Amino acid sequence: MDTTLRGVGVSHGVAIGEARHMGTAVLEPPAKQIDADEAPREQQRARQAVEAVAADLQARGNLAGGEAQAVLEAQALMAQDPELMADVERRIAVGSTAERGVYDAFAAYRALLANAGEYLAGRVADLDDVRNRIVARLLGVPMPGVPDSDEPYVLIARDLAPADTALLDPTLVLGFVTEEGGPTSHSAILARALGVPAVVALPGAGELAEGVVVAVDGSTGDVVVNPSAEERDELAKAAEERKAALDATKGPGATSDGHKVPLLANVGGPSDVPAAVEAGAEGVGLFRTEFLFLDDSERAPSEEKQVEAYRKVLEAFPEGRVVVRVLDAGADKPLDFLTPGDEPNPALGVRGLRTLLDHPEVLQGQLRALAKAVEGLPVYLEVMAPMVADRADAKAFADACREAGLNAKFGAMVEIPSAALRARSVLQEVEFLSLGTNDLAQYTFAADRQVGSLARLQDAWQPALLDLVSASAEAAKAEGKSCGVCGEAAADPLLACVLTGLGVTSLSMGASAIPFVRAQLAKHTLAQCERAASAARAADSGPEARAAAQAVLSGE
């Protein structure tokens, strides 16, 4: 008999196959004591294992490219954290083996993050993965990771570390289901980039039997265990209908009555560009530049290196629009040469534009590189600052852009509620707004975007979040300026219609979501989108808002 479980759908599509579980975590090493004269050798073993794991993560990032590269390089830096290594060596000096010293040092840091309730608590899954890889190397056992299989399967895991998600083989991994995670977690973002159907935050996912057939609907969040032949046919038919709708809808994004909604791509670097072009992206709505700065945590990349990378992306969209976000360092993306190491709550500390204003030489170097990269190209370059709180922030950024001689539009990201509430004030200094709904939800609801148990509050359908989107869009319209969305909310086809109804002027998302959003918009008029937006804002919860919008758009 079949059972239907409900999680959070984070990557569109349907996958049907046998469940295969992620390899088990490394067992806890024995608490064996060593003699004092053995400590130097064990410390050397620990250092070698750490460096080997960091190199492996870097190599995986180079293979994956794009957003995955940035995530994995950040994880490699985590492995090489000097304070963690110093703690490992202290534990070895008083009698621990290398593997036990690593295990205990990481456990102490893990507990610190988890109990503090900080933004960095969301990095616990990444920290566990790094620990497991180091301990596995020291013990001489296989690395934890995806199962070996010659047949396609649905991957089941408590959570997926970026190192595993980034290199999933879509020909073997039909889809994946995790017990933890959230709609804006690294795994969800990378799943969308890969185009792999995925459901996260599914209670009891780990209890699914090995080999049981499951049907995963990454659009609805439903996971059907032992689906009947009829259910399989229905899901397959629905998937075919979606594909046919996608194939039938081409060209620029627009509603059925011709209201234009440019559909742009989120990219992490040049390697993400081919998929964006293939999906028909009309430009780039979010070019994350962090990947360039993660190669070396001790210093910023040279202007020449930056120019080369920026120009590759700009050249891919002649006559198109490319929106570049300057470096967003801090919180879960620390850089040794920029980020304070002793902040009690990094998410509420010096990150984004605040970091760059503290280090104007880094900001000026990036802006000069962008000015050089766009020379002679017909592309429409726009540059925006992350974590803008008020008009003073916006003015400081616009002044820096002018000082660098940048021939581009200057904009501000709306990720902090204050910027949404005072959007007209911010727009006195900049020419456009771009809503980062991931962080905007996090700060609106005080809900860490990486914590699966808080998925309800990370839901971009929350009416309070829609109110802030509406306030920003209305302010931009009043000022005769644009207001786009570059957060993960734009990748939800139904929500894309609601955002359009709220007055958003462009939508940017992972390349794999563009066809789904284009097809959904083409089904409805602007007036229908506006009615759906009003219905969603009148609801009291995220699920109620979705249901209300769905009812309007389906004509119920």
Residues present in the chain in total: 556
- Say whether pLDDT at 120 is over 60: no
- pLDDT score recorded for residue 22: 84
Nearest CA among 264, 263, 258, 305 for reference residue 287: 264
The average pLDDT across 263-291 equals 91
Exposure of 549 in the CB half-sphere (CA atoms within 13 A): 31
Query: What pLDDT is recorded for position 109?
Result: 80
Cα angle 194, 542, 474 (rounded to 5 degrees) comes to 90
How far apart CA 328 and CA 258 sit, in angstroms, is: 36
- 305-335 residue pLDDT tens: 999 999 999 999 998 999 999 999 866 566 7
**Residue 458: what pLDDT?**
82
Local structure of residue 266 (DSSP, 8 states):
E
Tokens representing 158?
């408590």
Confidence band for 404, pLDDT divided at 50, 70 and 90: very high
Q: What is the 3-state secondary structure (H, E, C) of 156-212?
A: EECCCCHHHHCCCCCCCEEEEEECCCCCCCHHHHHHHHHCCCEEECCCCHHHCCCCC
* pLDDT given for residue 395 in this prediction: 98
Q: How far apart (Å, rounded) are the C-alpha atoms in residues 512 and 10?
A: 12
SS3 182: coil
pLDDT band at 118 (very low <50, low <70, confident <90, very high): very low
Q: Are 413 and 434 in contact (CB under 8 A)?
A: yes
Q: Kindly report which listed range (19-28, 168-177, 501-510, 544-553) carries the lowest average pLDDT score.
A: 19-28
Q: Amino acid identity of 383?
A: V
Cα angle for residues 342, 458, 224 (degrees, 5° grid): 130
pLDDT band at 154 (very low <50, low <70, confident <90, very high): very high
Going by pLDDT thresholds of 50, 70 and 90, the confidence category of residue 117 is very low
Supply φ then ψ for residue 551, to 5 degrees.
-60, -40
What is the reported pLDDT for 10?
84
147 falls in which pLDDT band (50, 70, 90)?
A: confident
Under DSSP, the state recorded for 217 is E
Torsional class of 458: left (φ above 0), alpha (ψ -120 to 50), beta (otherwise): alpha
Distance, CA of 334 to CA of 508 (rounded, Å): 25
CA distance 500 to 254: 10
For residue 214, list its beta bridge partners. 17, 225
Q: Given a cut of 50, is residue 119 above it in pLDDT?
A: no
Does the predicted model carry a pTM greater than 0.75?
no
Q: Which two tokens stand for residue 285?
A: 């709505």
* pLDDT recorded at residue 215: 94
The region that residue 291 occupies, defined by phi over 0 for left and psi between -120 and 50 for alpha, beta otherwise, is: alpha
Largest interatomic CA distance in the chain: 79
* Coil, helix or strand at residue 98: helix
- pLDDT for residue 81: 85
Residue 150 or residue 88, greater confidence: 88
Quick one: which of 204, 206, 232, 177 has its CA closest to 10? 177
CB of 385 within 8 A of CB of 367?
A: no
Helix H or strand E encompassing 286? strand 283-288
The stretch 57-86 carries a mean pLDDT of: 79
Overall average pLDDT of the 177-194 stretch: 76
Query: How far apart, in whole angstroms, are the C-alpha atoms of residue 260 and residue 213?
Result: 42
Beta-bridge partners for 260: 254
Phi first, then psi, for residue 155 (nearest 5°) are: -85, 130
Q: Are 25 and 144 in contact (CB under 8 A)?
A: yes
Catalytic positions, written as ranges: 186, 486
Of 3-17, 62-76, 208-222, 364-378, least confident by mean pLDDT is: 62-76
Task: Give yes or no for a contact between 476 and 507, defined as CB atoms under 8 angstroms apart.
Answer: no
More confident site: 323 or 210? 323
The stretches of 65-156 forming alpha helices (DSSP H) are 66-79, 82-93, 98-116, 124-139
263-267 and 173-178 strand pairing = unpaired
Residues 61, 72: contact at Cβ < 8 Å? yes
Q: Evaluate whether 253 touches 293 at the Cβ level (below 8 Å).
A: no
Report pLDDT digits (tens) over 224-249.
999 998 988 888 888 777 777 777 77
Residue 134 near residue 79 (C-beta atoms within 8 A): yes
Stronger pLDDT, 242 or 138, i.e. the higher one? 138
Residue 348: pLDDT band by 50, 70, 90 thresholds?
confident
Query: Which of helix, strand or coil describes residue 353?
Result: helix
> What pLDDT score was predicted for residue 379?
93
Question: Among 218, 219, 221, which Cα is nearest to 175's?
Answer: 218
pLDDT of residue 115: 55
* Whether residue 293 has pLDDT greater than 50: yes
Alpha-carbon span 418 to 421, nearest angstrom = 5
The 10 Å CB-count burial string (b at 16+, else e) for 250-272 is eeebbbeeeeebbbbbbbbbbbb
Q: What is the pLDDT of residue 24?
A: 63
pLDDT above 50: residue 390: yes
pLDDT at 23 over 90: no
pLDDT of residue 281: 95
pLDDT at 538 over 80: yes
Contact predicate 379/322, CB 8 Å:
yes
Mean pLDDT (the chain, rounded):
87
